[in-house]
Structure 1
Amino acid sequence: MASHSVKRKPRIEPYLYLVPAGIILLIFTYWPFFRTIYRSFFITDNRGVEKVFYGVKNYTDLFSSSSFQNSIWVTVQFVVLVLLVGMSIGFITALLCSKAFPGLQVFSTIYALPMAIASSGIAMVFKIMLNQQTGALNQILGTDINWLVDPQYALFSLAFITGWLNSGLNFLYFSAALANVDESLYESASVDGADAWNKFLYVTLPSIRNITFYVFVINIIGAFQSFAQIRILTAGGPGESTNVIVHDIYRNAFQNFRYGLASAESIILFVIIAVLTAIMFTIQARGARS
């Protein structure tokens, strides 16, 4: 009895369901991205229409600009501060809620609340709280600091607000990671005579390493893209002490009408984030293999 192999025709129907999503991505993501690349090689008019081909001169102008160099340095400081504040608050609050106690759900809701608050809305609240004359923070601390106008404090204030906004989502990620740590590992560590600190170092931290790496990556990307609170609270000032790259892009495009330069700056920001992400994934992959 001869066996007959039946060739199955590839089904087209499942792919048709992807077409609407593909069209939306093409129109609202990929097309603007490629247009930004194209526009970065031109001088534009005030409407953003490409007028004069400028080659890579927009990029060379940026790298020779002291304002852009300052914005890179400010962005690096801002991202580091946001990471420290956001991940620290998220992790500490997750640890506090990792054990059952009365009122756990109430505290969990409070700690997760920042993720539900719009950055523009909370910026207005903090603008009042950080006011030098009437702000609650100065009254509580008994100080007389102009938190958003003094260059010494403005960037840190913005980074703290942004980190706190990120801490709600970080809390959820860390809480889920801590809840999935195998309890038998703690029991084995107790049998071996490990105290609470050693359990934390050699059981808790290694067990949540993957989610910590993920939180680290998304926080870096989010910090680089922070804009609303910076625009509302300081508008890049005082001077250029809080003029991060994203705000500098906004200023070049919508205040100076230099859309070509702003497009080049956007591409540079994209490359920075992409390279950092690739480096972090490479390091993580090597650590997983070792």
Structure 2
Amino acid sequence: MSASPYGAARKTGRSLSRLKEPALAYLFLAPSILLFGLFLLYPLLRSFYLSLYLTDPRGQIAAYVGLDNFRQLLASPQFWSSLAVSGKFALITVPGGLLLGLVMSALANSRLKGMRIFQFIFSLPLALSVSTSSVIWMMLFHPTLGMFNYFLDLAGLPAIQWLTDPKWALLSLSVMTIWMNSGFNFIVLLSGLQGISDEMYDSAKIDGAGPIRTFVRIILPLLSPVVFFLTVVSLIGSFQAFGQMHILTKGGPAGSTEVLVYSIYKEAFVNYQFGTGSAMAIVLFLLILILTLIQFIFVEKKVHYQ
């Protein structure tokens, strides 16, 4: 018995509608895919390509050297020094930023009168660019006119050369970075706290748990997905920090604030060694990728998803 022409037409219409939906989706995604390829994928592939060559000051290919750029890089004390500085910077800024965000979000989540004003104040750093924040903190760190040394003078303590003393420069930039990231951390953590139902707090009070025990035993596990997200994002951001070092210290004094990204900038755009700079960028990319995978493999197991 032959198939009805109406049935065949219906099947053809269904097939066309199934094809139209993915085509429409790709059409809407096309601008994002184009921008992603132009500004992310192409530079990454270009960096892989340049890392295998020596280049002239104009960035043109001069000679193929294979993996020599990577061998030279791994044998360079300056590379390992900048990597150590990046590690110290991350160890200070990531836990410090999360702790400050937790404290501010816990305070802002309390139902006290006037908390809306503090929520606005706590989120203000998010609206400031790195350059604007650097100028503000440059004035605060000023050795003679800065507010920090003014308070030290009132306390009878000697002034500190915040940005010119190798013992204090990295710590000073870390404190500034923690403040810069506090707005984003605060907003994300506050949204997580507001997503926890009041029943959790009420049941904890009925069980006789105090505020600290409630926060540690109940609230913090429920916040663990948000904390995990911020940990991953903050760690990536700490290894990509550049603006505050470039504006405030230029990697000094004595290389104490020369993080890996600033070393890449110097190698590529000051020394015009684009091949070595690309090799450093690839190493940084692989390092961030490995650290992110480690967090997803080992740390995510302790995350309590609701």
Q: Is 1:52 aligned with 2:63?
A: yes
Task: Tell me what 1:137 maps to.
Answer: 148
Question: Which runs of no fewer than 5 residues in structure 1 stay unpaired?
Answer: none
The number of aligned residues is: 290
Equivalent position amino acid for 1:89 in 2: L
Contact 2:69-2:275 at 8 Å conserved across structures:
yes
| Aligned equivalent of 1:63 | 74
Residue 8 of structure 1 is aligned with which of 15, 24, 28?
15
Secondary structure of the residue aligned to 1:43 is: strand
Q: Kindly tell me: are residues 17 and 231 of structure 1, through their superposed partners in 2, closer, same or farther at Cα, counting changes over 3 Å?
A: same
Which residue is equivalent to 2:53?
42
Q: Deviations over 1:104-142 (max 9, x none)?
A: 111111100001101111111211211112211101122
2:240 to 222, 225, 238: 225
The aligned runs of 1:1-290 (5 Å cut-off) are: 6=11, 8-9=15-16, 10-11=19-20, 12-142=23-153, 143-288=158-303
Q: Return closer, same or farther for 1:205/1:103 CA change in 2, 3 Å cut-off.
A: same
Deviation at 1:192, TM superposition (A): 1.9
The CA distance in 2 between the partners of 1:285 and 1:134, in whole Å, is 46
Paired residues of 2:50 and 2:275 also in contact (CA < 8 A): yes
Q: Partner of 1:184: helix, strand, or coil?
A: helix
Instruction: Give the greater-gyration-radius structure (CA).
Output: 2
- What TM-score results when the alignment is normalised by the length of structure 2? 0.90
The letter for the 2-side match of 1:194 is A
TM-score (normalised: structure 1): 0.95
Q: Deviations over 1:163-193 (max 9, x none)?
A: 1100100000110011111221222222222
AA in 1 matched with 2:239? F
Return the alpha-carbon distance in structure 2 between the equivalents of residues 89 and 182 of structure 1.
Answer: 23
Asked if structure 2 preserves the Cα contact closer than 8 Å seen for 1:173 and 1:211, the reply is: yes
Structure 1 pair 174/289, CA: closer, same or farther in 2 (3 Å)?
closer
Q: Specify the code of the residue in structure 1 equivalent to 2:87.
A: V
Identical columns (%): 33
Structure 2: distance between partners of 1:202 and 1:37: 47
- The one-letter code matched in structure 2 to 1:104 is M
Alpha-carbon distance between aligned partners in 1 of 2:191 and 2:303, rounded to the nearest angstrom: 21
Q: 2:229 and 2:297 mapped to 1: Cα distance? A: 13
State whether residues 147 and 154 of structure 1, in contact with CA within 8 Å, keep that contact through their aligned partners in structure 2: yes
In 2: Cα distance, 1:54 partner to 1:95 partner: 55
> Equivalents in 2 of 1:194, 1:17: separation in Å?
51
Contact (CA 8 Å) 2:189, 2:226: kept in 1 or not?
yes
What's the offset of the Cα at 1:289? 8.7
